[in-house]
Amino acid sequence: MDGVAVKEEVDPGAVEGTSLRILKYPHPLLRAKNEEVQEDGFNDDLRKVAREMLLLMYASQGVGLAAPQVGVNKRLLVFNAEGSEKAFLQEVVMVNPTIVASSKKMLQEQEACLSFPGMNGQVGRHEWVKVEGYRLNGKKFKVKYEGWKARIFQHEFDHLQGVLYVDRLGLEEDLERVKPRLDELIEEYKKNPYEGREAAL
Ligand code: CO
């Protein structure tokens, strides 16, 4: 992932076509409140951020990204379960998403997150979720995601609540395993806090 790791994510640093950067744990904007996009917020600025988030996501070899991860505290997420620009028809951009129903059944799988490079861990997610959200043109839509897509969606949706996948690691062994990496990320952040918030929103 962001979402679930199929391949190792890479930190692309600066990416052509965007001044946005992916914020890493423990950047405080990852925990900040994300505002709903209002009617007049479905504008060119929002479309620009969404497009640049997709650029960053592909450059990082991720399959999803949420707006707070680029320092934009709005309820906006993008994902592509194929993780490839070539499969652009699989791109999903969702504004103000809500989960209206979900399976009782939970599935455990490995996840990773572009805000936590160099680690992963097992997280339980609903097998399916029914979702409502808005497209960039303001049109409302409903969709059911299952399996892999459901997992990616739930991971990105969590970001909009300020919830990070490390909060959901269920295995004691995973918690112990990632602890040194989390400490490293905290040290890296102290040395080089990225305060950028260069989006127009
Ligand atoms: Co993530």
Tens digits of residue pLDDT in 85-111: 999 999 999 999 999 999 999 999 999
Residue 70 CB neighbour total at 10 angstroms: 28
What distance in Å separates the CA atoms of residue 159 and residue 32, rounded to the nearest whole number? Answer: 10
Mean pLDDT of 61-72: 96
Q: H or E stretch including 152?
A: helix 147-160
Per-residue pLDDT at 199:
46
57 C-alpha to ligand 1 centroid (Å): 11
141 C-alpha to ligand 1 centroid (Å): 23
What distance in Å separates the CA atoms of residue 163 and residue 10, rounded to the nearest whole number? Answer: 22
The predicted-structure confidence for 146-162, as pLDDT tens digits, reads as follows 999 999 999 999 999 99
135 C-alpha to ligand 1 centroid (Å): 21
Residue ranges near ligand 1 (ion) with Cβ within 5 Å: 2, 113
Annotated active-site residue in 9, 52, 111, 156: 156
201 CB-near residues (< 8 Å, 6+ apart)? 41, 45, 46, 49, 72, 74
pLDDT for 127 beyond 60: yes
Catalytic annotation present for 156: yes
Judged by phi (left if over 0) then psi (alpha if -120 to 50, else beta), residue 65 lies in: beta
Residues found in the chain: 201
Q: H or E stretch including 143?
A: strand 140-146
* Mean pLDDT of all residues belonging to the chain: 91
pLDDT for 3 beyond 70: no
Alpha carbon dihedral 107, 134, 66, 88, in 10-degree steps, equals 80
86 C-alpha to ligand 1 centroid (Å): 22
Give exposure, 110-135, as e/b (b: 16+ Cβ within 10 Å): ebbbbbbbebbbebebbebbbbebbe
Per-residue pLDDT at 200:
42
pTM of structure: 0.92
Rounded percentage of the chain residues whose pLDDT exceeds 70: 91
Per-residue pLDDT at 18:
86
Task: Identify the residue with better confidence: 201 or 62.
Answer: 62
